[in-house]
Amino acid sequence: MTTASKAARQAIYKSGALAAITLSIIVGMNFDAKNVRANEAVNPVAKTATTTAKPDAVSDTSKSTGSIVARYHDGWQMFLQNPCRTSNANLDPSVASKGKVKWTFPAEGPIDSSPAIYKGVIYVGSDDKNVYAIDEVSGRQIWRSGLGDKVRSSPAIADGVVVIGCEDKKIYGIDAKTGKQLWNYETADRVSSSAAIYEGVAYIGSWDGAMYALDVKTGALKWRYAVPSNDPKEVVRITASPCVGHNQIIFACHNGNLYSLSIKDGTQLWQFRTGGKIYSSPMLIDNTVYFGSWDHAFYAVDVTTGKQRWKVGAPQSFSIAAASTGGKIFVGNDDLKMYCLDAASGRILWKTQLNSPVPLLSSSPAVSGNMLYCGSCDTNVYAIDTRNGAVKWKLKTQRAIISSPAIFSGGVCIGSQDGNLYCID
């Protein structure tokens, strides 16, 4: 991170309204600004990327990403659409072609949580300590369920259960039809990571530095993996959200490592170390994991061996997750540009300048057809042509946007810190 960038971030953290924005950079990722500054001083990370792998780390093609993504073609069931986190709706590109507000739903606090959509219902959390279920056509509330603190985690739905984390240190299972709380599981710290649900199990991280595997229907613990650390000052929070594929759970940690675990029992298979903290949620496509780091690099890593395939540098940090379609990777950098990368080589195909009053992009993109959607701290939702990076339209809200978009046949749905959930046609 450059001196100028550090100074800019420090100024942001001290400015009243924008401090609230930067306390939750990414949905599925929240952090305390004061702690970030302190942790950078006491927790330096390696300057080069390294990999530690077990020799028996193998891939099972029956659990390939294509077959997993295909199971989640209906709706937008979790953060970034599916357990592989490709953030691709595979819908007609005419969705949200106008950039006009179809309806808004008012919560009683900022909405940093990213919506999930399934069978005509939109689910989203809010800083007002509620999880909401909203009719996707009318925008009317179906139910709301009060939790113990702010809800900045994003919901995931499977088997009639909404799984979501909360700042009260708990992971909740909520009846998708009624809003009744079915179970909760308490961790040792707040939960802003968002669950990946696969074959009846929810995988989700906590600020306590552990990855949890919970039964979706009962909340029973299947296994727990605690990030190892011999340094009491090392920050091992997990705020990014995991991805699933090839019998592996892959997640990023604030200590600068990307980890791969056995989906069966949580045994570590390999780890890949970068030169900076990781807040970006990894994406898995075929045999490659894609993610960004605060070392100003975006990486492609082999899912079987944990070895680097390529990396591309940028002027600033990568803080958000990526989206993908047609052999292209779309990801925003804190230089306020959206990048389009060739998935095979990392070559930059185009980059588009966006706007923000702060030096970071906070909303992870979502793609459908040849349109890419994302929010920004400048209060706008952007629609970008995936072919050339041209901005097709932008829609202004009243406050910064931390939430990431969810796409369905009725349009694009996204939350804002102005307390509204927007449905855009």
Q: Which tens digit of pLDDT belongs to each residue from 21-49?
A: 344 433 344 333 333 323 333 333 333 45
Lowest mean pLDDT among 81-85, 95-99, 247-251: 95-99
367: domain CATH number is 2.130.10.10
Of 280, 225, 325, 262, nearest in space to 63 by CA: 262
For the record, the structure tokens of 38 come out as 């302190």
C-alpha 1/C-alpha 315 separation (Å) is 9
Of 227, 222, 231, 230, nearest in space to 240 by CA: 227
Computed over every residue of the chain, the mean pLDDT equals 87
Confidence of residue 356 (pLDDT cuts 50, 70, 90): confident
C-alpha 184/C-alpha 209 separation (Å) is 19
> What angle do the packed helices 3-14 and 33-42 form, to 10 degrees?
150
Print the domain residue range for 273: 3-424
The residues with which 14 forms a beta bridge, in sequence order, are none
Q: What is the pLDDT of residue 50?
A: 54
Count of domains for the chain: 1
| pLDDT at position 231 over 70 | yes
Residues 282, 284, 285, 287: is their CA dihedral positive or negative?
A: positive
Mark out the alpha helices in 43-150 (DSSP H runs): 65-70
Mean pLDDT of 398-411: 96
Q: What is the pLDDT of residue 94?
A: 65
H or E stretch covering 161: strand 161-165
Q: What is the pLDDT of residue 118?
A: 96
The model's pTM: 0.87
* Alpha carbon distance, N-terminus to C-terminus of the chain: 38
Mean pLDDT of 267-295: 97
